[in-house]
Every structure is written in structure tokens, then in C-alpha cells.
Amino acid sequence: MPGHSPRKVGVEEEFHLVDLKTRRRASRAPELLVRLPDEVRVGELQRCVVEVNSGVYTDLAELRSDLDRHRKLLAAAGSALGVGVVAAGAVPLALPTEMEVAGSPRSQRMLADYQQLAREQLTCGAQVHVDLENRDDAVRVATRIAPYLPVLLALSASSPFSADGADSGYASVRSLLWRRWPSSGPAAPASSSAEYDSMVDDLVSSGVIADPGMAYFDVRPSVKSPTLELRVCDSCPQLDTVLLVAALFRALVEREVTGLHTGTEGVEIAPTLTRAALWRAGRSGLEADLVDVTVPEPRPAADIVDHLVRSLRPQLEDAGDWALVSELAADAMARGTSAARQRRALDRRGRLPDVVDLLLAETVGHETSLSDTERMIRTGSRRVTGQQHRNRHGRPPHPIGPPSIDEQQLIAWRRDLHANPELSFEEHRTTDVVRRHLIGLGLAPVILAGGTGLWCDVGPPTGEAVALRADLDALPIAEATGLPYASTFPGVSHACGHDAHTTMLMGAATVLAATTPPHRVRLIFQPGEETSPGGSLNAIESGALEGVSRIFALHCDPQLEVGSLATRTGPITSSSASVTVRLWSAGGHTARPHLTGDLIHATAVLVTGLASVLDRRIDARTATVLTWGKVDAGKVGNSVPEAGELVGTLRSASRETWATLEPMVERTIGELLAPYDVRYELAYQQGVPPVVNDQDCSAELREAIASAVGLDNLAEAQQSSGGEDFAWYLEHVPGALGRLGVWDGTNDPHELHQPDFDLDERALLHGVRTFVALARGNG
């Protein structure tokens, strides 16, 4: 009712436990629970799941702070065990047969009674409680709220993958699995608490459920407290989603309680239509139509969500939530569901661990809200271009600082980025940091179509541009440097120096905006360099190379002393392809290998033979190397396994060889396995081609390095076997890649892609000077 204080709200969140090394589910809840305070720890049916309960609050900001504190507490306790926590409806890389049911008598009884149904419940949900002391009201309000439950499910959808990693085709496969419980779904309408309790008592008396707590209805009067409990939602990786659902549910409860007391009729629909609308929400999430149950007909999810939010405006305003909920709803529609983000994470490299890494990062607060610019791009609104943002003289419209860069400012930028790393294509905060800096310089950045990464121009608005490129993303590697500005996100770090690359280009932008270069300069901050085929393709597709005549980049080199830079003409990196071979054959006892495919022996032949044959079929001068990184087959010593897997990388310094490797690998595998009764499947993911520096651009880069650090500090780079997606730019325009010395010259070098990687920050200024020299034509 208007004028009274908002109802109290609380949240129960369930979390999956994940081994931080393997990214598989970990049945270690008992070990984790003993490390948590008594008031927050709750066990669950599965040993790979824990539940954490918030306090109860009227203020949503306080609720969010409490949930965030509990998540970080849980993550810290798990990290000490090598365990991560994931808030999502389901996670891949888990097998029901590997999971263990908790040892409590109730859990063991549930396993005995429900068998496979109990074992397959590798899912997590988020439950929202709103205080409602009148139990009769709670029962009747539950019925009145039922038509709106599909919208709340769609907002929370975060389980596209089954436990074995297969794409379910649903945004919430959890909602399918949960419906298998005999007491789940919408409750039958009841007019009083007595009628509702009698219905639950009948279920218990029937022996189908053991106690009232197993009445798993989508919304129900709580068994333990005077609240109405929402149970339909997946666990949500992002706290903002939890907050949005909690605010909408509270507003719904308030509206329907008022309707009960004033005699206002609620929306009445058949339970069959509610179930159909819930199925559609679980199937589609926010990425397709939902069911408008009042008509009924399909309507775009954006329309359904917008209508619900606007219909609840009076209640949201009374609670002081209107502005927040409006913003959260807009962000939710712009981002889409967690399910969609997980599928994008898998599509980039085809690796399920990338999905788990995304969820781990989002759960501990890695993801930030959309900036205004990002939201404008995703929703198709008009954006301001570099031409529109300049005056008729081609100068930035705002006053700029002195034409130099403060080294301490560079260090501050780098340390901020270092402490807040973001995985490939999830660089929302980093993009926003760069965007705000460029706008502050009077420039007009253009966000890439995917929502992360950006580019902008500085200098005269006409003529061909020289492009300078930096990369934004971090790696799924836990940092072990112990630095005061170390990564604040478990399992994610800037172990490749991209924080330095971004900082140096931000510094170059500062100098170039203050002293206009003689020709147009394109500054490209790309996402996803650490993925394959790489975020440079996204930048190219978004127009970052339009009007560009040549392009340059610098990469940290921990083997090169700070103050020195290096480059070379021709190949400076190698191509990179991922090779996965899955093998199957008849298994059996090791005493009778002749009755099996002897898969281990065949695997060994393939491990040694494929590399040897390729060595003799490919010109050695191309530096083509196959290296296996994973061999997985068998469990015990006296049994020949039925399946195995090899995973490796294939690299080459020759672009021509890179383009022809896949059919050669396929043919050679078939020839090597021909004598054995072993079937195979090859998954060959062709990665980036080698970076081949253009002769003229290499000369230009050498001149820039000499101008920045002196000719004595210019070194000749060696060709590396590592891959770099800068190569895709060179498929379109000539360019050159240089190496920036970041070793302090005293301690042992810290290798790239290692947990202890660090760099000497004096290198940042050398990188800025080199970029500026390239932009100015070295003059």
C-alpha cells in the first residue's frame, strides 16, 4: 500500500563447486562448508552444490551488498581448496555418475526413493523470499502471481548446456529437469492456507514426497518462515539479474496483496497455459518470443519484459526502486541471457572450459553493467562518428592537456587494468575505461558490434590512416605474483601483458590528441586476442580497417630487457591450429589384447607417428611443429579402454603450409590407424595464420623504435612459434609487429602465459613513444 515501508526481501542462492584446474564439478561441499560461518552455510542434496542465504532487507542496495559479500566469502574459502563457485542453472563438464549425494539421512532417503531423478539434479536455483505474514494471503497471491512467472524464468535463464556439455537447445535446461519432480511446477489454486496445507498433506500421505519441504512449487508459502517464496529461477551469474528478479517479485507481491484487499481481480489463466508459457521461457530465454498469456499469443521478449516493468511502476516507485529497476531491465535486455553469453563463449574457441571460466568470473563480480554507448550499439540506436564529433578545422572540440604523458599516470592506468582483468569478449569494464578516456580527450570512439572493443580516429579527418592496435583481454590463469595490484578475480589475470598494450595506446592517444599528427591515425583497441580465430576479425568486421593504409602493434617480450625493442621482416610469429583426435575401439582385458582394438597402443602410434610423418612431408624450413598437450585414455592397468582423446597444437611459420595442413593431418591419421581396429574423429580448428611483417612497414617500425629509444636499443627479433591474431589485419593491409622489452634485467624473466608473469613498468613510456613516432611518421 502507498506510504508504507517496502516489504522485506531475502535471497537463497545455490552454487556449483568447480575444480579450478580441470573446470569439472567437484564434490567437496563438506570441506567447504566447515570453512564458512554458521549463519551462511547450508548443505544441499548433491555434494557438488552449496547454498548461501542472505539476510532480509527492505533496501535493495543493502541486499546486493550482502549477496556480494557472501559470494566473495564463498569464493575465498573455495579458492583455498582449489575450488571455484558458479552461480548458474547448470554447468557443463560434469557427469551424473561422478557426483555424490550428501550423507544426511534425508538426502540418502531421497536418493533411495527417486534414484536417477535425484542423481541427475546437477542444477542450481535462486529463491527469493518476500515477507507476507498472512498465510491465507500468501496462498492466494501465489495463484495470482503465476501468470508472470515465465518472465522471471526468462530473465534468469542460465543453463543452456547439459552436465555432459551437450547443448540442450534450451536457455534453461534446469527448468526441464526440475519439472521431473512429482511436486514441481505451478501449484493447484487454493483459496486458503488450510486448503493448501491439506493438498500438501495429501502428497505426503501418498508417500510420493517425504515432507512439506518437498512441495517444489514454482511459488509457494515458505515452509520455515512467514514469506512467499519464488522458486522458478535459475541461479544467476550476475548479481544485477538477482536484484532485478527480487525487485520485480516484491512489486508483484505488493500489487497482488493490494488487489486481494481491494477486490481487484487478478489475471486468471488456465494452469495448462502457465505451463506452456513456462516451457517457452525455458526454451527461449530473452532471445526469442515469449507467450503473452493474456491473449494468448507470442510476443517479443523485450515487449513482455517492458510491459511487466511498466505495469509495476506504482509499486516500484513506492519502494524507491523505479529508477534502479528501469536501468537493470534495460541492461538485461541489452545483454541477453547468461545462456546466450555462454553459447558465445563456446563458439569462440569450441572449448567448454571457456564457458566455465566465464561463469566463474561473472559469479565473483567480474562482469560490469553496460555503458550508455554499449547499450546504444546493441539496441541499434544512432551513434556519433569521429567526423561528427569534430569542428570544421578537424580539431577536437575540447581543450586538451600538455603534449606529454605522465609516467605515473601510465602506471596507474596499467595497475587498474591489471587488477580488473576480463576474459576474451567479456571486456566490458576495460572497454568502458578506454571509452571514457578517449571521450575525455575530445575523441569519438566507436564500440565494436559485439559490445567490447572500440576504435577511434585522431588527426585530420581525411586521407588514409595509419592504424595502431592494442588488445584488451586477459587469460584464464590464476595470478601468483603477490603484487598489491594483483588480479582481484580468481582464475583470471593479465599474464600476457595486454594491460600494458592498452595502457600504451591510451597514452599515445593522450599525446596525439594534444598535438595533432600530420595525418589521420586509427586507434584500435580490440577484444579477444587470446581466442581463436581471434577478436581482430570482429574489429575488421566492424570497420576498423576502413580507410587504413598500414597497421602496427607492439607485444611485450619478457626475454628482452626494458629499454629495448625488436622487430624483423617476414614471419615473426607462427600459425596456430588446435588438433583434437577422439578414438574408439572394442575394449577388454589386457590379457587378451588381440580381442580388442588395443586403443592405448594405437594412441601411442599416433602420438609419435603423426609428428614424425609430418616432419618428412613438410619442408623443415617452414618450422612446422606438432606438439601434444593432452593424452587421455584408460583408468586402470588391466583393462584396455574403449575410448581416448589426444589434444595438441600444430604451428607453422609458413602461411602457405598453414593453409594446407588440415587435409594432410586427416590423411596421415587414417594411414597410421589403418592397421588397427580403431575408429577416430578429427576436430581440427584452424587458428590464425603467421604474422608476416611487410618489408616497408618493418623499416618504418625500425625508424620509429630508433626515434623512441635510440638505434643502440633496436634489436633483431627472432621468429616465434607462438600465434598472434594481428595476422588477420595483415590479410587486408600491410603492417608490422614489434616486441617491447619488459624484463628488468636483474631477476629471472617471467615467461608469458604463466601465473607469475610480471613486467617492468618503465617499458610503458617506451611503448608510448614508439606509437607516437609511428603516428607522426617518425618526424
Instruction: Report the alpha-carbon angle 529-86-119, nearest 5.
Output: 125
Say if strands 714-716 and 548-561 run parallel, antiparallel, or are unpaired.
Answer: unpaired
CA–CA separation, 517 and 495 (whole Å): 33
The continuous run of DSSP H or E covering 575 comes out as strand 575-584
pLDDT of 670 above 80: yes
- Residue range 575-686, CATH number: 3.30.70.360
Of the spans 16-20, 208-212, 735-739, which averages the highest pLDDT?
735-739
Fold topology of 373-573+691-775: Aminopeptidase (3.40.630)
**pTM of the predicted model as reported, rounded to 2 decimal places:** 0.52
In one-letter notation, the amino acid at residue 585 is S
| Count of all residues that appear for the chain in the document | 779
Evaluate whether 48 touches 26 at the Cβ level (below 8 Å): yes
CA–CA separation, 478 and 488 (whole Å): 10
Evaluate whether 603 touches 587 at the Cβ level (below 8 Å): no
In one-letter notation, the amino acid at residue 379 is T
pLDDT at 400: 27
Indicate the Cα dihedral angle 444, 449, 450, 454, nearest 10°: -20
Of the spans 98-107, 198-207, 535-544, which averages the highest pLDDT?
535-544
pLDDT in tens, 523-573: 999 999 998 889 999 999 999 999 999 999 999 999 999 999 999 999 999
| Cβ-based burial of 34 (10 A; exposed 0-12, middle 13-18, buried ≥19) | exposed
Tell which residue, 712, 632, 623, has the closest CA to residue 661: 623
What percent of the chain shows pLDDT beyond 90? 62
CB atoms within 10 A of CB 347: 11
**Please, what is the end-to-end C-alpha distance for the chain in angstroms?**
72
**What does the pLDDT average to over 51-70?**
93
pLDDT of 237 above 70: yes
Q: 482 CB contacts (<8 Å, ≥6 apart)?
A: none
pLDDT of 769 above 80: yes
Q: 351 CB contacts (<8 Å, ≥6 apart)?
A: none
**What does the pLDDT average to over 109-118?**
56
pLDDT at 131: 96
Evaluate whether 440 touches 495 at the Cβ level (below 8 Å): no
pLDDT in tens, 378-393: 333 322 223 333 332 2
- Residue range 9-360, CATH number: 3.30.590.20
What does the block give as the cell for 51?
547454498
Tell which residue, 465, 481, 446, 352, has the closest CA to residue 756: 481
3-state secondary structure of 114: helix
**What does the pLDDT average to over 600-622?**
92
Confidence of residue 479 (pLDDT cuts 50, 70, 90): very high
Of 47-51, 57-61, 535-539, 768-772, the one with minimum mean pLDDT is 47-51
pLDDT at 121: 63
Evaluate whether 614 touches 665 at the Cβ level (below 8 Å): yes
pLDDT in tens, 631-668: 999 999 999 999 999 999 999 988 888 888 999 999 99
**What's the mean per-residue pLDDT of the chain?**
87
Tell which residue, 132, 109, 115, 141, has the closest CA to residue 211: 109
Confidence of residue 117 (pLDDT cuts 50, 70, 90): low
In one-letter notation, the amino acid at residue 704 is A
The full set of domain ranges for the chain reads 9-360, 373-573+691-775, 575-686
pLDDT in tens, 297-331: 999 999 999 999 999 999 999 999 999 999 999 88
Confidence of residue 422 (pLDDT cuts 50, 70, 90): very high
Evaluate whether 492 touches 557 at the Cβ level (below 8 Å): no
pLDDT at 49: 87
Of 139-153, 475-489, 585-599, the one with minimum mean pLDDT is 585-599
